[in-house]
Amino acid sequence: MIYTLENMPVELELALRERAAAERKSLNAAILDALSRGLGIDPQPLKRRDLSDVAGKGLIDARMEAVFEEQRSIDPEMWK
């Protein structure tokens, strides 16, 4: 949905813009967070994907390593 806010006091706009910049969010996200907090509603947390279940698991097998090694090789004919 799209809403228009009218007659916003300058102080409120500046405070919202400062908060957005401090939290590295868009102005829209800062306004939604402020409204949620003001109404006693927890803002929705950012969904982050945790890759710890696959990080460092050695998912590259010998065949894949052979392909990577071939791609890393330098063709002397191309570098003349």
pLDDT tens per residue across span 14-69: 999 999 999 999 999 999 999 998 999 986 666 777 777 777 777 778 888 899 88
pLDDT of residue 77: 85
Token digits of residue 60:
């590259």
pLDDT at 59: 73
Residue 17, CA distances (Å) to 1, 38, 52 in order? 21, 17, 35
Chain center to CA of 16: 21
Q: What is the pLDDT of residue 62?
A: 86
